[in-house]
Amino acid sequence: MIFEGQSIQCRLRDKGVAEVCFDNKNESVNKFDRATLNEWRQVNELLRDHKDVKAVMATSGKPVFIVGADITEFNELFASSREELLGWLVKANEVFSGFEDLPYPTAVAIDGMALGGGLEMCLTCDFRVASPKAQVGLPESKLGLVPGFGGSVRLARIIGADNAFEWLSTGKAYKPEKALAVGVLDAVVDSEHLVDSTEQMLLDAVEGKLDWQARRAEKKAPLQLNKTEATMSFMTSKGYIASQAGPHYPAPVRGVQLIEDSAGMKLEDAIKAEHEAFADMAQTEQASSLIQLFLNDQVLKKKAKIAAKTANVDVKNATVLGAGIMGGGIAYQSASRGVPAIMKDINPEALEQGMDEAIKLFGKGLKYGKISTEKMAKGIASIKPTLSYDEIKHTDIVVEAVVENPKVKESVLKEVESLMPEDAIICSNTSTISIDRLAQSLQRPEKFCGMHFFNPVHKMPLVEIIRGEKTSDETIASVVAYASKMGKSPVVVNDCPGFFVNRVLFPYFGGFTKLVRDGADFQQVDKVMSKKFGWPMGPAYLLDVVGMDTGRHAAEVMAEGFPDRMSKDEKDAIDVMFENDRYGQKTGSGFYVYGKDKKGRTTKEADPKAYELLKEIAAESKDFSDEEIIARTMLPMIIETIRCLEEGIIDSPAEGDMALIYGLGFPPFRGGVFKYVDSQGIDTIVELAKKYQHLGKAYEPTAGMLDMAKDGKKFYQSDLS
């Protein structure tokens, strides 16, 4: 044994190949933390002058290779000065370059994921061999970063600038076939023979059959591009990537700029240029927010794992009550993840519509290569439409998804409870109706909770799991585990009108309708909130998509539940649209008018008639600054979100922020409401709220907010914690 540490072990194999095995004894996966980098530095020093070593092979003792850098360890580092950050990057890259500069051929055997820093390690090697299970990629752009361990500039020299632009800007994890085709990998071998094949490649290099020195020299040289090619490539790529990323995500464009700036440099100098680019991105608000989003997602995943261990019902088959588009979507989601679903309805047409929806979604998966024909056929066969309750006698869970009417739901829930197994769980897919109210009709309320899916089910990651007063912990754990098994991100919330997501959405709509009342142009509001603040769509367009009938009903529920903040004394823009049968996309008109283009895609245009109708409730047209539009729409949402945390409706800022991002499309680069408040400063938000307090109770900061502002506190203890 040459070296044995906590993260790395190094031994000399029989034929003179030193095997550097990444196998962290304290973690389930390998990642680059400071301890691992320190051990790798020691290994490099031992190998550099070892008289018996002929070649070096990197392997992993884990089911994955290396998942990347330990982002949690670098919180303080990212918040430190630029000089300190650059100093750390220099030291870290000395380790990567030290391995690359060993006086022997090097190769890596990749069996599993090699992402971020994991792939950057692989790029230091002369040869890269992977199994069919491998996934490789540089996802740093998804965190608002560029690679920091030489990944950008090495990748460009190995696969060419154009291919590197795609890998850097998308942040995708690529399968071995794609990686082999562009040159990231040199061979793909089955797992059983991976290490032996990699070793043989190294022995061939030692014997001169493979010119490892020429490969290394080419990687260390400037990019092989003539001036005309370089100009065309960089100019075209920058424009395209900037248009795809948008103005709020600078990292992809910075990656292209880095490769352009360093194209004529030797690798050593190009890596220094990468340090500067990394430092530029690491200390942006976007990176801070996107990294926090990543950490928050880990919180959800950890809770889901805990739930799977504590659940008392392992859901192996499910029942969806109520078909149609929503029921079909839920049944599809369950069946597509291996949990067969019965779909029950009283209406044959609804069952047909539900099956059509599920078949359509399976068909899309087949069309885009996500599933095989066999898997599609198996998935469709695992959904059983029925008009009878007979099929549910052995179900593990029932998800009720009938019409959003409390009396209808109570009747259906009561009926199905008497027919299903006593240990089975029953859930209601409701967006507004109190879980405690629905539980009153049940004999076993401890086995009942809310399971609120968002539309369209197959696209929206969030499922709100609503805990009623009598819901047991075991029931919650079982439903969280089932939602996770379905591929969703579950967030547990306590029961209240609107639960969490809708409760905080409607104050946002309230801020919008007050702006319209005061003379704002709804198109200007939509433009500011989408283009400048970053929402997928502005509030007028969103109301059209949700449906004015649905929006009005939900607003009434919110007003009844929170009359001091959400009731209204006058007709508003939603009422005007509703009373004129302008429900939005479903009727072809709302704030906008909708149609179809030649390819069948939905079109949206402004409608002069909408402006005429709004004159009934709106003041004379008035210009509002972008800042005022953002403040007046966002403050009610921000304050209500904080109130939900203070009242215990949500357990943590992390879960609240993820619910808003996954359920509403809150701009990811802002990290969610709590992260946004931290970045702006709670004192700034409080002062802004006081400025607009005359607009009503929805703008009044809570006592907790005032205390936080006074004490200078944040919701996240450090910028990235």
In 418-528, alpha helices (H): 435-439, 473-485, 501-517, 522-527
Contact 166, 224 (CB under 8 A): no
Would you call 452 a catalytic residue per the annotation? yes
Alpha-helical regions (H) of 49-81: 75-79
CA nearest neighbour of 121 among 221, 7, 276, 282: 7
Identify the residue whose tokens are 């599609």. Answer: 376
69: left (phi over 0), alpha (psi -120 to 50) or beta: beta
Identify the pLDDT of residue 719. 43
Choosing from 50, 275, 452, 458, the catalytic residue is 452
CA-to-CA separations, 611 to 527, 580, 619, in angstroms, rounded: 17, 13, 12
| 337's tokens | 């993840």
DSSP string, 603-643: EEEE-HHHHHHHTTT--S-----HHHHHHHHHHHHHHHHHH
Q: What is the pTM of this model?
A: 0.92
364 pLDDT higher than 80? yes
| pLDDT at residue 74 is higher than 80 | no
Write out the H or E segment, with its range, that includes residue 63: none
Instruction: Report yes or no: 258 and 273 within 8 Å, Cβ to Cβ.
Output: yes
Query: Which of helix, strand or coil describes residue 600?
Result: coil
Alpha-carbon distance 447 to 92, whole Å?
52
Give the integer Cα–Cα distance in Å for 662 and 665. 6
pLDDT digits (tens, 9 = 90+) for 183-233: 999 999 999 999 999 999 999 999 999 999 999 999 999 998 777 777 777
Rg (CA), the chain: 28
Q: Looking at the predicted structure, is the pLDDT value of residue 75 above 90? A: no
For residue 548, how far is the Cα from the chain centroid?
Answer: 29
How far is residue 196's CA from residue 247's CA, in Å, rounded to a whole number? 48
Read off the pLDDT band of 718 (50, 70, 90): low
Average pLDDT for the chain = 95
Which domains does the chain possess?
3-282 (3.90.226.10), 314-495 (3.40.50.720), 501-567+622-649+681-711 (1.10.1040.50)
- Fill in the DSSP letter of residue 66: B
Spatial separation of the C-alpha atoms in residues 258 and 275, rounded to whole Å: 10
461 and 300 Cβ atoms separated by less than 8 Å = no
- Residue 59 banded pLDDT, cuts 50, 70, 90: very high
How do residues 612-670 score in pLDDT, each as one tens digit?
999 999 999 999 999 999 999 999 999 999 999 999 999 999 999 999 999 999 999 99
Q: Contact at 8 Å (CB) between 686 and 631?
A: no
| Selected residue with higher pLDDT from 122 and 232 | 122
- When pLDDT is averaged across residues 477-492 and rounded to a whole number, the result is 97
Return the sign of the alpha-carbon dihedral for residues 515, 516, 519, 524: positive
DSSP annotation string for 406-418: HHHHHHHHHHHHT
| Spatial distance between the Cα atoms of 631 and 692, rounded to a whole number of angstroms | 9
Query: How many angstroms separate the CA atoms of 541 and 526, rounded?
Result: 7
Angle value at C-alpha 124, between 118 and 128, nearest 5 degrees: 75
User: pLDDT digit string (tens) for 153-173?
Assistant: 999 999 999 999 999 999 999
- pLDDT at site 720: 42
Residue 26, judged by CB atoms within 10 A of its CB (0-12, 13-18, 19+), counts as: exposed
Residue keyed to tokens 């008109």: 589
Kindly report the three-state secondary structure assignment for every residue of 92-117.
Answer: HHHHHHHHHCCCCCEEEEECCEEECH
Residue 510 or residue 432, greater confidence: 510
Peptide bond into 247 cis (omega under 30): no
* 127-130 β-sheet, strand order: 3-4, 8-12, 17-22, 55-60, 106-110, 127-130, 187-188
Residues 406-428: tens digit of each pLDDT:
999 999 999 999 999 999 999 99
Following DSSP, what letter does each residue of 219-249 receive, concatenated?
HHSPP---HHHHHHHHHHHHHHHHHHH-TT-
Per-residue pLDDT at 388: 93
Say which residues have a Cβ less than 8 Å from residue 207's Cβ, sequence separation at least 6: none
| Dihedral sign from CA coordinates of 292, 296, 302, 306 | positive
Q: What is the DSSP letter of 589?
A: B
Start-to-end CA distance of the chain, whole Å, equals 38
